[in-house]
């Protein structure tokens, strides 16, 4: 038997799953709030219980990150995301304003195409399925090819829990024959109502180019400014741990420290105590060549890798216990590859004299590769904190926390999410942490509260006069045309 074309298999699978999801959605769109919440609670519990196994699977399949950290992300996606949305009304009348006599009625989108990355595969699958089904949508997951098996396993256990609790078959699905052609077919399918894309810039651009509504998120070149007023021990501990968390595979991870010059040496010593290794100029050159190709694209083999592994790959030794490699830099832009987003355990280091200079350096980093995404500031001076909040072109400013966990909503009060909008400046439709609110529309049933003005109800003499003038003008134009041609 000849080999079957993988692209054709993927395209056909996308069509089949989208059609089946649409048929299931026509039933699910009429589900009661009680039914929706029962199904979602069961899925969240099933995913939480499998968090450790799924984390191990994701690490083994992709080679990225740390299994224990992936387990934590899975638990976050199941428990924290569900806790944040479980009380949101998504069926029927969700709000009534008696004074304005308006009823707001939730209305689902339909079939959602959920594109998920290799860096956070199982956690993103769990999160997207929960927020989509909670909003009474169907969802078809298109996983990254290098994380297809673990993504399918995460979706499959949620499918089982959902159907055992009354969800129609086909409401949730995950592609197994994964290819670019198949993903494009899913995004452009006539039954796909919305695209929810999390991943690299090319994939997000493809989602936006389909002509379908799309939530896509851009890269995060996150600066961490450390002010002279900061709790330096806490800042050092948090920055190092955050950059090392799952080997820097979350897009909100710190990419460069901008240290206020009076405290820079103290911060360096404290970070070294936490496992940060400051490389020299020769080692920095080795890392530049290792991490990025000539076009400035990160080499896939270096993504999500522990610091000792990267050092050995680059050709130098590091002390035992090294968690992060820190490179001193002076420039930002294409001429400095290490000023880009680095989805691995390499952290840039800049120094600036005073918060105003630190502010400008942070803006440079954001404009180069992380517009609209995130920033973290360590300070106790509220004037400095507010200045950063007001002036930075990003939509998440995390204060005195781990950026990795603060931006996604684990250690802060923002909505728990694994899709972080970058707003208009970053090419996204929203700057929010995307959640179930973004996946349903709202109808408004509005009663009259003000009588129309009398002029709106009357034909009025002006209307007749205007009509007469128009007729007379048309007659004059016709006569002039006839005379001109005779």
Mean pLDDT of the chain, nearest integer: 93
Q: Which residue has the higher pLDDT, 219 or 280?
A: 280
Torsion angle, CA of 381/382/388/389, rounded to 10 degrees? 160
Portion of the chain with pLDDT greater than 90, in percent: 83
Query: Residue 174: which pLDDT band, with cuts at 50, 70 and 90?
Result: very high
Query: Residue 204: which pLDDT band, with cuts at 50, 70 and 90?
Result: confident
CA gap 29, 33 in Å, rounded: 11
Catalytic one of 150, 174, 251, 362: 251
Tell me which residue of 152, 120, 175, 14 sits closest to 419, measured CA to CA: 120
For residue 79, the 8-state DSSP code is I
Q: Backbone phi, then psi, for 472, in 5-degree steps?
A: -60, -40
* For helices 264-273 and 232-244, angle between their N-to-C axes, nearest 10 degrees: 50
What's residue 208's pLDDT?
76
CA gap 207, 210 in Å, rounded: 6
CA gap 10, 7 in Å, rounded: 5
Query: Residue 429: which pLDDT band, with cuts at 50, 70 and 90?
Result: confident
160 Cβ contact list (under 8 Å, min separation 6): 46
What's residue 428's pLDDT?
86
73-93 pLDDT, tens digit per residue, is: 999 999 999 999 999 999 999
Query: Residue 127: which pLDDT band, with cuts at 50, 70 and 90?
Result: very high
What's residue 302's pLDDT?
96
Q: Identify the H or E element spanning 359.
A: helix 355-369
Per-residue pLDDT at 466 exceeds 50? yes
> Tokens in use for 124?
């993103």
Per-residue pLDDT at 2 exceeds 60? no
Provide the terminal-to-terminal Cα distance of the chain, rounded to the nearest Å: 81
Per-residue pLDDT at 239 exceeds 90? yes
Query: Residue 227: which pLDDT band, with cuts at 50, 70 and 90?
Result: very high
Q: Which residue has the higher pLDDT, 332 or 427?
A: 332
What's residue 157's pLDDT?
97
Q: Are 247 and 68 in contact (CB under 8 A)?
A: no
Identify the structural domains of the chain with CATH numbers, from first to last.
6-217+435-442 (3.40.605.10), 222-409 (3.40.309.10)
Q: Which residue has the higher pLDDT, 94 or 198?
A: 94
What's residue 425's pLDDT?
84
In terms of DSSP bridges, do strands 102-108 and 93-97 run parallel, antiparallel, or are they unpaired? antiparallel
38-62 pLDDT, tens digit per residue, is: 999 999 999 999 999 999 999 999 9
What's residue 486's pLDDT?
66
CA gap 90, 44 in Å, rounded: 17
β-sheet bridge partners, residue 394: 372
**What are the angstrom distances between the C-alpha of 429 and each of 17, 214, 295, 432?**
26, 8, 28, 9
Active-site residue flag, 251? yes
Torsion angle, CA of 365/367/370/375, rounded to 10 degrees? 60
Per-residue pLDDT at 1 exceeds 50? no
Tell me which residue of 441, 438, 442, 437 sits closest to 85, measured CA to CA: 437
DSSP string, 303-358: TT--HHHHHHHHT----TT--EEEEE----BTTBGGGS--SSSEEEEEEESSHHHH
Q: Which residue has the higher pLDDT, 461 or 104?
A: 104
What's residue 462's pLDDT?
54
Per-residue pLDDT at 475 exceeds 80? no
Q: Are 170 and 153 in contact (CB under 8 A)?
A: no
Q: pTM of this prediction? A: 0.91
282-318 pLDDT, tens digit per residue, is: 999 999 999 999 888 899 999 999 999 999 999 999 9
β-sheet bridge partners, residue 258: 225, 350
């Amino acid at each position: 038997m000849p080999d079957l074309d993988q692209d054709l298999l993927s395209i056909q699978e996308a069509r089949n799953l989208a059609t089946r999801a649409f048929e299931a959605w026509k039933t699910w769109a009429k589900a009661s709030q009680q039914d929706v919440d029962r199904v979602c609670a069961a899925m969240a519990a099933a995913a939480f219980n499998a968090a450790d196994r799924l984390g191990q699977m994701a690490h083994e399949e992709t080679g990225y990150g740390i299994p224990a950290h992936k387990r934590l992300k899975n638990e976050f996606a199941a428990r924290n995301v569900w806790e944040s949305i479980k009380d949101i009304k998504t069926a029927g009348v969700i709000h009534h304003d008696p004074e304005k006599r308006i009823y707001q009625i939730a209305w689902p989108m339909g079939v959602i195409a959920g594109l998920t990355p290799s860096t956070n595969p199982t956690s993103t699958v769990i999160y997207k399925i929960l927020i989509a089904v909670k909003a009474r949508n169907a969802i078809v997951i298109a996983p990254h090819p290098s994380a297809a098996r673990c993504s399918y396993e995460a979706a499959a256990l949620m499918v089982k829990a959902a159907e055992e609790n009354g969800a129609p078959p086909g409401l949730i699905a995950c592609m197994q024959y994964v290819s670019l052609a198949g993903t494009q077919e899913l995004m452009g399918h006539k039954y796909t109502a919305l695209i929810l894309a999390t991943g690299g810039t090319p994939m997000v651009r493809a989602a936006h180019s389909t002509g379908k509504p799309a939530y896509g998120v851009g890269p995060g070149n996150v600066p961490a400014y450390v002010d002279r007023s900061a709790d330096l021990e806490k800042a050092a501990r948090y920055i190092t741990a955050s950059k090392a968390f799952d080997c820097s595979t979350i897009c909100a991870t710190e990419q460069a420290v901008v240290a206020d010059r009076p405290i820079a040496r103290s911060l360096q010593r404290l970070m070294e105590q936490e496992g940060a290794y400051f490389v020299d100029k020769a080692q920095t050159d080795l890392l530049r060549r290792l991490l990025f190709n000539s076009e400035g694209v990160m080499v896939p083999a270096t993504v999500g890798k522990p610091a000792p592994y990267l050092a050995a790959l680059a050709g130098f030794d590091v002390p035992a216990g090294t968690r992060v490699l820190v490179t001193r830099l002076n420039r930002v832009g294409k001429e400095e590859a290490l000023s880009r987003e680095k989805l691995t355990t390499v952290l840039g280091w800049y120094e600036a004299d005073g918060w105003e200079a630190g502010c400008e350096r942070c803006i440079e980093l954001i404009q180069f590769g992380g517009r609209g995404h995130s920033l973290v500031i360590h300070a106790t001076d509220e004037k400095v904190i507010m200045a950063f909040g007001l002036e930075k072109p990003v939509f998440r400013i995390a204060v005195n926390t781990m950026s990795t966990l603060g931006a996604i909503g684990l250690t802060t009060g923002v909505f728990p999410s694994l899709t972080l909008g970058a707003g208009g400046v970053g090419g996204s439709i929203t700057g929010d942490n995307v959640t179930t609110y973004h996946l349903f529309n709202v109808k408004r049933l509005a009663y009259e509260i003000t009588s129309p003005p009398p002029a709106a109800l009357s034909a009025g003499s002006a209307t007749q006069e205007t009509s007469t003038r128009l007729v007379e003008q048309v007659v004059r134009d016709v006569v002039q045309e006839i005379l001109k041609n005779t």
